[in-house]
Amino acid sequence: MKKILATLSLLAVLSCNSSSENDTNFETSSLKETSAVSNSIIEKPQIPSNRKIIWNADLEFQVENVDRSTQKISSLCKKYNGFISNMKLNNTNYEVSNEITIRIDNKDFENLINELKGISVFNRKVEINSNDVTEEFIDIQSRLETKKQVRERYIDILKNRTGEIKDVLAAEDAIRKITEEIEAKEGKLRYLNDKVNYSTINLEIFQKVDFKSAPETFEKSFLTEVKESLSNGWEIVIGFILLLLNIWPLLLILVIWLVWKRKWLKRKLKK
């Protein structure tokens, strides 16, 4: 029994040690072009193929027509097997714009950006960022493998050893916790793989329009005003009737007082 408890304690220590994670500094690089951006071909820096790189781009283009350009962007995404994950159309007094988020396979990242630049009449901003997550990726894989080994040892203890019920329950609880940690790290790896394999392009296209002041009030038609007037009049009648019903005791007292007052005046005049 002591050997079982000692083994369980050792595995628990290994599991806890594997759970403590240190902060890791990741390399980030960027390529920026702002103001009057040229239409030169964009190329990513040469990076070794064994690195895990997340690529992102922030673009702002002026176009001749937002609607036609949006259709063109949609066609380009289909051409490169990408997809639009988010779109937000804005309309102001002086500008029409569309904010578009595109996910694209990493191998077609540069080609799509260069074709997107071709539909613009003025490139206000082109910013490309890379985030090297290789160290994080390797660290998670290493910790994941360690946790799987610890779980297997717990399972072996349950299969090959006997002990008290409380020891068995403790081992089962430890297996459950380690399994949850393994699933969380596997989810993190899937997230990183998705970000590495599919780059993100945040694109805003805008179109200048002649200034038009927004209407200050909503003008109602004559028929609408007639209907509202009839409805308001009926509500006033209903409200007056309800008021009389609410104050009927006061009205009764007033009527009695007026009758008494009238009789009193008649008697006074006779005298």
User: CB 4: neighbour CB atoms within 10 A?
Assistant: 16
Split at pLDDT 50, 70, 90, the class of 6 is very low
Q: What is the mean pLDDT of the chain?
A: 80
Domain assignment of residue 221, yes or no: no
- The arrangement of strands across the sheet holding 83-91 comes to 28-37, 122-132, 53-62, 198-208, 95-105, 83-91
Same domain assignment for residues 230 and 104: no
Split at pLDDT 50, 70, 90, the class of 2 is very low
For the chain, what is the domain count? Answer: 2
pLDDT score of 209 more than 50? yes
DSSP 8-state code for residue 38: -
Domain assignment of residue 68, yes or no: yes
Same domain assignment for residues 90 and 155: yes
Same domain assignment for residues 131 and 245: no
Between strands 198-208 and 53-62, the pairing is parallel
Same domain assignment for residues 230 and 210: no
Same domain assignment for residues 14 and 78: yes
pLDDT at 252: 87
Domain assignment of residue 220, yes or no: no
Domain assignment of residue 26, yes or no: yes
Same domain assignment for residues 122 and 25: yes
How many angstroms separate the CA atoms of 115 and 76, rounded? 8
Render pLDDT for 77-91 as a digit per residue (tens, 0 to 9).
999 999 999 999 998
Which pair of structure tokens corresponds to residue 56?
């992102």
Beta strand segments in 45-94, E? 53-62, 83-91
Same domain assignment for residues 161 and 129: yes
Same domain assignment for residues 198 and 260: no
Same domain assignment for residues 58 and 167: yes
Same domain assignment for residues 202 and 262: no
pLDDT at 3: 46
How many angstroms separate the CA atoms of 221 and 259, rounded? 51
Render pLDDT for 127-153 as a digit per residue (tens, 0 to 9).
999 899 999 989 999 999 999 998 888
User: Element (H or E) spanning 207, and its range?
Assistant: strand 198-208
